[in-house]
Amino acid sequence: MNKLVIAAVVVVAIVLLAIPRVVASITEARVHERVAAIDANGTVAARVTAFERGWFRSTAKIELSLAPDAAQLGNLPPMAMASIPIAVEFAHGPVAMLDGTYFGWSQMVAHLDPEAPGITELTQTLGVPYLFEFRGRTGFAGGLSFDADAPPFELPIDEALLTFSGGTLDGTFDGRQLEARTHVGSLDFTSPTGTFAISNLRASADNELRSQYVMPGEATFSIERIAVSDAFQGTTPVFETTNLSVVSATTLDSTGALLEMRVAYGLDSLRVAETEVSAATLEMVMRNLDVAALEAYSAAISDAAATSDPADVLAVLGPQLDRALRAGPSLTLDPIRFRLDAEPFEGRVELVARPDRLPPAGALDLDNPLLVMGLLDTDAEVRLSKTLAQKLAVLVAQMQLASDGSVPADELEYLAEAQSGLIVTMLVGQGVLLEDGDDYRSSLVFSDGALTLNGNALPFGLP
């Protein structure tokens, strides 16, 4: 009996000692596989420069940089092409000991490579143990759970001071499903001439990464406050925005062929000098987007951006646009709502493609804008206060008077206010604006090549 127990213990010990070596081999293959996938997305260039495989520990060196095509598309300077050196350390399971003890297939810790030029000097200057650290754990069931942080620091720059509160990231990645959350408390730049401050930046994602362009799921982004002050104009910010938010939800139909995207933008307030926009909301819905056409169209844009010949670009994009329109996509902006200096504005816009008006496949002519416009039905409505209409008319008059530079600056506002009344009166007289109590309203419908304004047909249309 004792011999059986001893034999079983020996077998278990051999297995436990052998497993880390097997996991190390699998880990190396996965690292090369994932880095190759990153490199193939066309945005980030990535390569494994070294991998040292051990029995219980392995290390890797990875270089990341912006892909040449992406840098060219964004007209970025050569410094944007500089590589980012990443050092990764792995501990192999089933009992992985790296960042504490973990029962699973592996643990990992990644950070900027301290052996790369300038990294150690920068961490010493900032007084931080690392610039960022990413920690991941792969469980027995597969999938990666992770967390990361960038520590807080203060960096004097001549007479200015950059202050960073630190940032955090955590989430899971299982198969193609990514769930992540990030938070930055604050970022402040203070100098003798003024300040720039951001507070409480948050983002989250719960998406299925089907491709570079199609990621069904939900994502959020928000910033509690952005403020810019000018030391020569007092302590009141010359620019300030509060509670900026973006919430998006993307879904696929049962066949996975058509996509719907909903995006809601929100803003409590935005103040520039003496002008304030408040209670702003914009909700956008796009329906019946052909997934294959969207992917091909997005890839074609990236490829065609390198050419300077518009004809070449249209030749590449035309077939994808044709396919997308045949799915009957639509775009709705509803509501468009805000207050400008406490005066309300509200509107909606809907554009719906008309596949029945498309020419035969392959005959869509993008050089004919009237033909393209005739493929879309449009329905738009606006309502705004009379006071806001007057304010906007003043702005229009100011831009018209200032365009030729013949009006002295000290007379510009006076003449613009004088002309604004004539502009509003003309629009009301022509039926462009309809009076409705304290508001003006207007509606525009374009369908089957015919245009109506406030229910009245206009004497021109499209074939």
| 310-326 helix and 291-304 helix, angle to the nearest 10 degrees | 170
At 254, phi and psi to the nearest 5? -60, -25
| 269 inside domain | no
- Tell me the whole-structure pTM to 2 decimals: 0.84
pLDDT tens digit at each of 463 positions of the chain: 465 545 444 444 444 444 656 666 767 777 777 777 777 665 678 888 888 887 778 888 888 887 665 554 445 554 445 678 889 898 876 777 777 777 877 888 999 988 888 889 999 999 999 999 999 888 877 788 899 999 999 999 889 999 999 999 999 988 889 999 999 999 999 999 999 999 999 999 999 988 878 889 999 999 999 999 998 888 889 999 999 999 999 999 999 899 999 999 999 999 998 889 999 999 999 999 999 888 887 777 666 555 555 566 667 677 888 888 899 999 999 999 999 999 999 999 999 999 988 888 777 777 777 777 788 999 999 999 999 999 998 888 888 777 767 777 767 777 888 888 888 999 999 899 999 999 999 999 998 878 899 998 887 555 5
Count of domains observed in the chain: 1
71-107: string of b/e by CB count within 10 Å (b at 16+)?
Answer: bebeeeeeeeeeeebbbbebbbbeebebbeebebbbb
366 within 8 A of 318, measured Cβ to Cβ: yes
34: left (phi over 0), alpha (psi -120 to 50) or beta: alpha
| 157 occurs within a structural domain | no
Domain assignment present for residue 211? The answer is: no
Kindly report the number of other CB atoms within 10 A of residue 289's CB atom. Answer: 21
Q: What is the structure's pLDDT at 9?
A: 43
- In DSSP terms, which residues pair with 442 in a beta bridge? 382
User: Do the beta carbons of residue 226 and residue 241 sit within 8 Å?
Assistant: yes
Is the residue at 426 inside a domain? Answer: yes
Asked, for residue 376, whether it belongs to a domain, the answer is: yes
Amino acid at 53: R
Helix (H, G, I), strand (E, B) or coil at 398: helix
What residues contact 310, with CB distance under 8 A and at least 6 apart? none
Any idea which residue has 């229910």 for tokens? Answer: 455
Q: Tell which phi-psi region holds residue 279, choosing left (phi > 0), alpha (psi between -120 and 50) or beta.
A: left
pLDDT at residue number 179 = 95
Q: Which residue has the tokens 């554009």?
A: 351
Give the single-character DSSP code of 69: H
Q: 62: which strand partners? A: 48, 86
433 falls within a domain: yes
Q: Cα(first)–Cα(last) distance of the chain, in Å?
A: 95
Cα separation of 175 and 172, whole Å?
10
217 assigned to some structural domain: no
For residue 453, the enclosing domain spans 368-463
In a domain, 442, yes or no: yes
Question: Between the CA of residue 76 and those of 5, 39, 72, 307, 372, what are the distances in Å?
Answer: 67, 19, 6, 17, 33
Tokens of 339: 């207050």
